Structure 1
Amino acid sequence: MELDDIKRRIAAAEQAAGREPGSVTLIAVSKVQPAERVEAVLNAGQRIFGENYVQEAQGKWPGWRDRFNGVSVHMIGPLQSNKAKAAVQLFDAIHTLDRISLARKLAAQIAEQGKSPQLFVQVNTGNEPQKAGVLADDLPGFMTSCRDLGLSPRGLMCIPPEGEDPVPHFRLLRRLAEESGLDLLSMGMSADFEAAIAEGATHIRVGSAIFGARDYG
């Protein structure tokens, strides 16, 4: 199946980049996918999934977690501050921490719930006005503010501008992570994950290449 092909390509990219086998985490992006497709991937052994919408994830993952051991669900879409409580309850990792108001809400919920989802700061590497994410120049101050709130982000995430060569954006994210003392990089999707692995990605987000085209109808 497509999952096996993706895993082979990840292993080949790790080897080509001189990376340790298994050093890249595959996040299967299951947003808006029919249940039968997701279950097929679960039955094939995949356990780490990415979702873009809190409400959609709430409706399907509690049941699958009861049936499949070891499931980990990551929030990879924009997160509204008023969904922080549900996000901390549901997700094992949040890749889209991008503003101080959200950091405050997450810090309060993490303290209240006693949970500690892995946190990634989303960086707007292309300075795109329509896109979420902290600007590169603002990242040091944002990291300081997060740490002052008691948060401990582990990595950075980016979505390079559509139609541009993603490699400069991956390299920028890696440099910013190194400067910030972070060791995780969430970057690379179906079309460019091998290039992301070559540039140091620790987490790649692959949807259509595993599940097929999404049906938004």
Structure 2
Amino acid sequence: MGLSDIQNAMAKAATSAGRSVDDVTLIAVSKVQPNERVEAVLAAGHRVFGENRVQEAAGKWPEFKEKYGGVELHLIGPLQSNKVRAALELFDVIHTVDSEKLARRIASIGAEIDRIPRVFVQVNTGDEDQKAGVPLDGVDALVAECRDLGLPVEGLMCIPPVNEEPSLHFALLAKIAARNNLTGLSMGMSGDFERAIALGATHVRIGSAIFGDRVKA
């Protein structure tokens, strides 16, 4: 597959769900991809990209942003406290706020540098011990805390458990978002984005289906 194939599949999924594809943002996940692959997607006109690691993103995106106008960069991987400043300077949206400590750190440094990206609260919908994300019973409190801190909370994000039907988790995330008056739903990847769109995804995160298999360092 490639960029145009994914865009066509997204449009078909949106139409089937009675939605406009314009309401779904495609985040091209460029982590661990050679620069030439990333630049090919940029050259094709796409401008919304996702990265997992601050350090990797810092090594490639300042130059790309200078060369290509209108790039919007999303952090979709875990954010460590000591990387918050660098993340706020580079990213436009952070999808992985999962603790009050991290939220406070973002608010504090954001005030210092006068730049706070839009944020999503990451929810551990499967309550998996090994996975990042706020537990289900802590979502409402964290959303409230983020709002109290002045963070622009756009929505919720999840990564469903590998061995469970993702639609169940997408539906759960949508329910929690509605309860908190949030419209953003960052959910769906290469293998399940059509189902995510059917259940209200506003952002889908797709990597290998656009770029090809990841290249490991």
Shorter-chain TM range is over 0.9
* Rounded Cα–Cα distance in structure 2 between residues aligned with 1:99 and 1:82: 15
Cα deviation code 1:109-157 (max 9, x no counterpart): 2211212311000000000000010111111111222222222311000
Q: Distance in 2 between matches of 1:19 and 1:112?
A: 40
Runs of 4+ in 1 over 3 A off after TM superposition: none
Report the Cα distance in structure 1 between the residues aligned to 2:194 and 2:179, rounded to whole angstroms: 24
Query: 2: CA distance between counterparts of 1:22 and 1:144?
Result: 29
Could you report, residue by residue, the CA deviation over 1:152-207 in whole angstroms, capped at 9, with x for unpaired residues?
31100000001211000000000000001111000000000000000000000000
Alignment: residue pair count: 217
Aligned to 2:86: 86
Question: Contact between 2:123 and 2:133, CA under 8 Å: does it hold in 1?
Answer: yes
- Measure, in 2, the Cα distance between the counterparts of 1:120 and 1:113: 20
Single out whichever of 136-145 and 165-174 deviates more from structure 2.
136-145
Residues in 2 aligned to 1:213 and 1:207: alpha-carbon distance in whole angstroms: 8
Alpha carbons 2:28, 2:205 under 8 Å: kept: yes
Alpha-carbon offset, residue 101 of structure 1: 1.1
Aligned to 2:164: 164
Counterpart-to-counterpart distance in 2, 1:198 and 1:72: 24
- Provide the C-alpha distance between the structure 1 equivalents of 2:20 and 2:136, rounded to a whole number of angstroms: 29
Q: Which residue number in structure 2 is paired with residue 120 of structure 1?
A: 120
Quick check: 2:11–2:20 contact (8 Å CA) kept in 1?
no
The runs of 5 or more residues in structure 2 that have no matched partner are none
Code of the aligned partner of 2:38:
V
1:134 aligns with 2:130: no
User: In the alignment, which residue of structure 1 is the partner of 2:179?
Assistant: 179
155-164 vs 110-119, which deviates more? 110-119
Q: Which runs of 5+ in 1 are unaligned?
A: none
Query: Does the residue aligned with 1:22 lie in a helix, a strand or coil?
Result: helix
CA distance in 2 between partners of 1:111 and 1:16 (Å): 43
Residue 10 of structure 1 corresponds to 10
Give the Cα separation in 1 of the matches to 2:166 and 2:31: 23
Rounded to whole Å, the distance in 1 between the matches of 2:183 and 2:163 is 28
TM-score (norm 2): 0.98
Distance 2:185 2:158 in 1: 8
Per-residue deviation, residues 5-38 of structure 1 (Å, max 9, x unmatched): 0000000011000002311000000000001100
Q: Distance in 1 between matches of 2:61 and 2:93?
A: 14
Structure 1 equivalent of residue 61 of structure 2 = 61
Give per-residue Cα distances to partners, 1:82-125, cap 9 Å, x unaligned: 11111110000000000111111100122112123110000000
Tell me the residue number matched to 2:146.
146
Between the aligned partners of 1:152 and 1:135, the Cα distance in structure 2 is: 21
**Alignment pair present for 1:110 and 2:110:** yes
Separation (CA, whole Å) in 1 of partners of 2:58 and 2:164: 34
When structure 1 is superposed on structure 2, of 26-35 and 147-156 the one drifting more is 147-156
| Separation in structure 2 between the aligned mates of residue 62 and residue 198 of structure 1, nearest angstrom | 35
Choose 105-114 or 140-149, whichever is displaced more: 140-149
Normalised by the length of structure 1, the TM-score is 0.98
Give the secondary-structure state (helix, strand or coil) at the position aligned to 1:200: coil
Partner of 1:73: 73
- Residue 20 of structure 2 aligns with which residue? 20
Compute the RMSD of aligned alpha carbons: 0.9
